[in-house]
Structure 1
Amino acid sequence: MQTTAAESSDWRSRILARVERVPPGFVTTYGDVSPGAPRQGGAALRGAGDRVPWWRVVRADGSLAVGDRQRALLEAEDVPFLPSGRVDLRAARIPPEVL
């Protein structure tokens, strides 16, 4: 089954709207912004640039997909990190139902 341009735009818009609702100092995961299809979350963010706070979306284990720049932006918002270098999801993850 092929996806139409309208359907493609619709899922991207829903994902970006969820990301925009993540407040400073908190994170969400790719799976939270795109339930059942975390890779679609990454695909939607890839083309969004800095229009949305992409740095607030991390992998399900708290690791960073983008690396040093993402970490610097999260640290500037006082997002807590574990000694392993991963985001402390117990402290910083916003509940998915809020999105």
Structure 2
Amino acid sequence: MRTEYVEAVLALARLIPPGRVLAYGDLAELLGVGGPRQIGAVMSRYGSSVPWWRVLRASGQPPRCHEGRAREHYLAEDTPLHRGGEDAAECRVRMAAARWQPDDAAWDRIARLARQAAGTADVGSAPAVRGDEGNVSAP
């Protein structure tokens, strides 16, 4: 997977504000490259340094095997949840209420990230998401 694509996905995940979420497919659509599975692969391999719980399945379910930790974050951030989510395994975000709607400033950043993801951005024009050694860091 191209480093520029990974960096763009992670940078977009960082833009999602507390209490808001996007589905894997939403990120893919905003970037205009890849699909939900590619976004999921990036988040699975490299997403530990970003608010990973804000990127979830279209059904509103958090990433598999992380339901308990995700639920803690959702409660702390007042993310709208479906009733009956007292059990972490049944936790589901109310997508219609929680889906992030970017403002104008965010749309400008998203456009830069989309160019970066497609490999057409000037590297200096998009914010990089790099680890301490200057590389995308693994979880």
Aligned match of 2:24 in 20, 30, 44?
A: 30
Aligned to 1:76: 76
Give per-residue Cα distances to partners, 1:8-29, cap 9 Å, x unaligned.
1111111111101000110111
Aligned to 1:62: 60
Distance (Å, rounded) in 2 between the aligned partners of 1:28 and 1:54: 10
Structure of larger gyration radius: 2
Give per-residue Cα distances to partners, 1:54-73, cap 9 Å, x unaligned.
11111001111221111111
> Given residue 25 of structure 1, which amino acid in structure 2 is its aligned partner?
G
> Given residue 74 of structure 1, which amino acid in structure 2 is its aligned partner?
Y
Q: Which runs of 5+ in 1 are unaligned?
A: none
Q: Which runs of 5+ in 2 are unaligned?
A: 85-90, 111-139
How many residues get paired?
Answer: 93
Per the normalisation by structure 2, the TM-score is: 0.59
Q: CA deviation at 1:90?
A: 1.2
- Identical columns (%): 40
Per the normalisation by structure 1, the TM-score is: 0.81
RMSD between aligned residues: 2.0
